[in-house]
Structure 1
Amino acid sequence: MSMSFPHPLRAFSVGAQASTRLAEKIADDPPTNKTPQSMVTCVYQMHISACWCNVTVLWCKNLMNHSLNLIFNNPDGGEIYYSCKIELKPWLFWSKKGSKSFELEGCHVDVHWDLRSARFSGSPEPSSDYYVALVSEGEVVLMLGDYKKKAYKRTKARPALVDPTLFYKKENVFAKKSFSTRAKFDERKQEHEIVVESSTTGPKDPEMWISVDGIVVIHVKNLQWKFRGNQSVMVDKQQVQVLWDVHDWLFNSPGAGHGLFIFKPGAPEPDDDQDAVLTVPVVMPAT
């Protein structure tokens, strides 16, 4: 199944939309068609030397490989400036801590990472005990992970004056009957746990449940007739649009069905083309 979490930008520009399309292309083009792969794609906008730059953070995992990819691109047109890949294979312990240096439009940038103790909970993206830090001109312009003190100590850099903004997150994962993830609907508030559960086999009519922080916010009965839909729910006093398309779970051969879920903060706009949103191609099948 696939889950997508669009986040609002301070100013959602044409360049931001281009980066979103770039992230979708990367997520929807796995390196191999034969090896199932789980992916988490995040797109951030960060401030480097008085200008904005977008970085796509792509965590990938399959039976043979586990890696982190960083792709830096021009926020105006999506042109890729630089990309680097960090291998996270268990037998490559030496590669789980390191650094790289490169130039972005004349600005020196260092990326430091320590993933030796990283914990994973069913996702290619670590859940705790790690850091990935991007440093430019003595500032940490992007910090990933919870080992912030270790990152600042190693980089000897200060926090950035302008915080980066996460405006897009998408997860492509394999699951059977249940999938969980964590996401923020507002950068100023805490993360929420999202769980999607389904019952599509057996004598009873298929059903689906979507829970946020342990509370069922959507329960879809007769899923065979309601395999596409949308509903607005309240999460921590904030309105969130939930859209789903699980047609292929029900009408494709077992193990070949794709599911798509989108969680979009804010009230629906009158001219939203929700059907178009729901037909975004999804590569990863639910098994």
Structure 2
Amino acid sequence: MRDIASCLGEYAIKVSDSACSAPANQACRPSGLVPSIQDSVACLYKTKLSTQKQLLITVTWCKNPTGQGLSINIGDDPSSSSSALKVNTNSRFFRKTKGNRTFESCNSKIEALWDLSNAKYESGPEPTNGFYVVVVVDSEVGLFLGDMSEDVVAKKLKTGIPLAQFSLVCRREHFTGNTLYSTKAQFCDTGMAHDILIRCSGEDEGLKYPVLSVCIDKKKVIRVKRLQWNFRGNQTIFVDGLLVDMMWDVHDWFFNPASGYAVFMFRTRSGLDSRLWLEEKLVQKEQEKVEFSLLIYACKNP
């Protein structure tokens, strides 16, 4: 599959407002399809220490028929085993839902603490409450996640450990199943979490040609007709006062069915005069302002 951004033109932008792009009664109405299964979620965080050193921390949650797992990677190479912590929560063979581990990566001393023993899950691999994950970098709290993490961080801070700045810059989600994908996203630190529904309708629903629909908070914001010809493209919407580019690439659904993967991306940007994200990196370490990206990799079963 070609890079999704390489097929998008700088001027191929259509701006719409999620609050007025569709009438209130024209909400997304999915058929009896069951939403696809979320197999894994990878969250990329940018941490800035008091020494001005910056690190990338990737937290990955995964789920398969044999169990669930958690991994933490430090640095810009998530495949590097030397900078990874992997926890298997499979209760049948090996279960380690609580603990801590110390290792070195990117010339820093890393301490990871986690407690998933009382974690609650919905349909995906990422816990919703009853857990914590804390990453300490060079004696600074570089990242903390979960509703139980504040108590752990408070204890650390009482011992004089400073709290570093961190922000979520990218979230990658993998789905398998049919052509209905449901997730949530928070596009800025001060914004609310929005429900996102991506749906591809086809001949089985009485349509002559496939149609791609994207809904945010049950309001239809994007509708792409004749999807087999418009298999790559982009539009821009407003969410929480931010410009959000939505890009799609469903080429392989039609022309490489053996793979069956499609890619959908939401990315915030600073203004109308800024360029779309073409070949730049997800995170520029020199850039103070952190933008957010949500990537959805969707596998359509035959």
* Unmatched segments (≥5 aa) in structure 1: 5-35
CA distance in 1, matches of 2:82, 2:190: 30
Equivalent in the alignment of 1:127:
128
Q: What's the CA shift string for 1:133-161, capped at 9, x where partnerless?
A: 11246642201222234433665657854
Which of 230, 235, 242 is residue 238 of structure 1 equivalent to? 242
Equivalent in the alignment of 1:168:
170
Q: Which TM-score applies when normalising by structure 2?
A: 0.68
Equivalent in the alignment of 1:118:
119
CA distance in 2, matches of 1:154, 1:258: 45
1:211 alignment partner, SS class? strand
CA distance in 2, matches of 1:257, 1:273: 24
8 Å CA contact 2:175–2:298 kept in 1: the answer is yes
CA distance in 1, matches of 2:180, 2:297: 18
Q: Which TM-score applies when normalising by structure 1?
A: 0.72
> Looking at CA atoms only, which structure, 1 or 2, has the larger radius of gyration?
2
Instruction: Tell me how many residue pairs correspond in the alignment.
Output: 244
Which residue identity does 1:41 align to in structure 2? A
What's the CA shift for 1:63? 2.2
CA distance in 1, matches of 2:137, 2:259: 44
8 Å CA contact 2:175–2:297 kept in 1: the answer is no
8 Å CA contact 1:135–1:155 kept in 2: the answer is no
Equivalent in the alignment of 2:299:
285
What's the CA shift for 1:263? 0.4
CA distance in 2, matches of 1:198, 1:127: 28
What's the CA shift for 1:86? 0.8
8 Å CA contact 1:49–1:137 kept in 2: the answer is no
Which of 201, 209, 212 is residue 216 of structure 2 equivalent to? 212
CA distance in 1, matches of 2:151, 2:240: 32
CA distance in 2, matches of 1:197, 1:99: 41
Question: Cα–Cα, structure 1 residues 107 and 92, in superposed 2: closer, same or farther, change >3 Å?
Answer: same
1:189 alignment partner, SS class? coil
What's the CA shift for 1:192? 2.0
Which residue identity does 2:228 align to in structure 1? Q
What's the CA shift for 1:132? 0.4
Matches within 5 A, 1:15-26: none
CA distance in 2, matches of 1:272, 1:101: 37
Equivalent in the alignment of 2:188:
186
1:250 alignment partner, SS class? helix
Percentage of pairs with the same residue? 30
* Bigger helix fraction: 1
1:95 alignment partner, SS class? coil
Q: What's the CA shift string for 1:93-121, capped at 9, x where partnerless?
A: 74011111223466543211111222233
Question: Cα–Cα, structure 1 residues 159 and 244, in superposed 2: closer, same or farther, change >3 Å?
Answer: farther
8 Å CA contact 1:38–1:284 kept in 2: the answer is no
Matches within 5 A, 1:18-57: 38-48=39-49, 50=51, 51-57=53-59
* Unmatched segments (≥5 aa) in structure 2: 5-36, 283-295
Q: Provide the alpha-carbon RMSD of the alignment.
A: 3.4
8 Å CA contact 1:200–1:250 kept in 2: the answer is no
CA distance in 2, matches of 1:139, 1:242: 36
Q: What's the CA shift string for 1:222-266, capped at 9, x where partnerless?
A: 22222211000111221100000112223444x841111010102
Matches within 5 A, 1:94-113: 94-104=95-105, 107-113=108-114
CA distance in 2, matches of 1:286, 1:141: 37
Question: Cα–Cα, structure 1 residues 221 and 159, in superposed 2: closer, same or farther, change >3 Å?
Answer: farther
Question: Cα–Cα, structure 1 residues 137 and 286, in superposed 2: closer, same or farther, change >3 Å?
Answer: same
Equivalent in the alignment of 2:253:
249
8 Å CA contact 2:68–2:88 kept in 1: the answer is yes
CA distance in 1, matches of 2:156, 2:91: 25
Question: Cα–Cα, structure 1 residues 80 and 229, in superposed 2: closer, same or farther, change >3 Å?
Answer: same
2:117 alignment partner, SS class? coil
Question: Cα–Cα, structure 1 residues 93 and 190, in superposed 2: closer, same or farther, change >3 Å?
Answer: farther
